[in-house]
Amino acid sequence: MQRSRQIELLDRMKHPDPYVKWTYAPASMHNPVSHYIDPAWFEDERAALFRGRPLFAGLSVECAGAGSYMTIDCGGVPIAVVRQRDGSLAAFVNICRHRAATLLKGSGRNGTGRIVCPYHAWTYDSAGKLLVRPQSDDAFADIGGDCDLAPRAVQEKHGLIFVHPSSDQPFEVDDLLCGMEQEFTDYGIDSAHHIETRVSTWEMNWKLLLDTFLEPYHVRYLHRKTIDPVFFPHQLYDSFGAMPRVIGLRRTVMEQLAAPRDSWRLFPHAAAVYVLMPNALMTYQGDHLETWRIEPIDAHTTRAYTTIFSPEPPKSEKAMQYWMKNLEVLCNVAMNEDFPCQLDVQRNFSSGAIREVVYGRLEPALIRFHSTINATVESWRERKVSRKEAVLF
């Protein structure tokens, strides 16, 4: 983030109006509990949000060398992204065209340049073109059309990879980020080093998992023994199009405000959290990056991928232990404090005892996040009804 932007953000903390200082929303919001538990609403979320638009797949460094690949579940659609020999990326539906077996799993690197189905060994090249149907002679000669893998659009920019789960038409990454990318300077996203990814599954709605990162109101209570002594229970908030960005402020930031203004630095006294709608968060902590990528399974189940990146490969065991300690702190706070509370929330939603939750003006990122989701799903439902009516008449 450019110094001028850091100073601009710090200036807000000295504003005499507390509503400007902590970026209150214009109004509170009521959100139906059904949006967290209703299977019909969840299916429309998947269609509108997770299948109908490009999704964040990961950082470029997670799929760096020729033959490297990553897989991602996009609202139930399995997608594989593979780095080609010329440095470009190819994406395709990760399903064999013969009997629908899964081709690639997880992430890794394939040095052969070929993708072999584990079921009947149909073989494709790294871009998804069918090469071989072994020991079948002419048994498939009467099948019309091609059996190449179904291509999907993939774009890479600013060190980020996005893929469209239902279209092969190109898209612009900057159109998705809406200016957010202007804050990515000096974050070292292109050169970051992947330390570790942890996968976990939670019996809660996908939005609850993300909700916990979008407001600091709970910090002084739920995290009073862990991060409350380090962070203020306030955030600086901005939105980039539909996507919120919140900045958590360490208590040491007050030292900056006591210094001459032209020497102010927001980092390392802050953590900037960017929502990559709808399925991910990217956090810059001042000396490293973290990502959370989520995959909704059903209205009550979510899979999460938690990843930490260092600015360069660790040069010693001590350096590696430092980054692993950062990962442990992240996982400890989220998985031992935040998520158990959210599991209770999900169970309480399912009890039928309450009909709505409330987001206050001091939770502007939550209001922006859920307002966007609700508007997108409602628009999708209107178009769905229109399509049905067109068929009927």
In our burial notation (b when 16+ CB lie closer than 10 A, e otherwise), range 193-226 reads bbbebeeeebebbbbbbbbbbbbbebbeebbeee
Tell me the two tokens of residue 220: 């002084």
Q: Where are the domains of the chain?
A: 3-52+183-384, 57-170
Phi then psi for 364, rounded to 5 degrees?
-65, -35
- Write down the CATH number for the domain with range 3-52+183-384: 3.90.380.10
CATH architecture classification, 57-170? 3-layer Sandwich (2.102)
Q: Digits of tens for pLDDT over the chain (393 positions)? A: 999 999 999 988 876 555 555 678 999 999 999 999 999 999 999 999 999 999 999 999 999 999 999 999 999 999 999 999 999 999 999 999 999 999 999 999 988 899 999 999 999 999 999 999 988 888 888 887 789 999 999 999 999 999 999 999 999 999 999 999 999 988 999 999 999 999 999 999 999 999 999 999 999 999 999 999 999 888 899 999 999 999 999 999 989 888 999 999 999 999 999 999 999 999 999 899 999 999 999 999 999 999 999 999 999 999 999 999 999 999 999 999 999 999 999 999 999 999 999 999 999 999 999 999 999 999 999 998 776 655 444
* Residue 293: C-alpha distances to residues 58, 141, 372 (Å): 8, 42, 19
- One-letter amino acid of 94: N
Domains 3-52+183-384 and 57-170 equal at CATH topology level: no
Cα 199–Cα 201–Cα 202 angle in degrees, nearest 5: 140
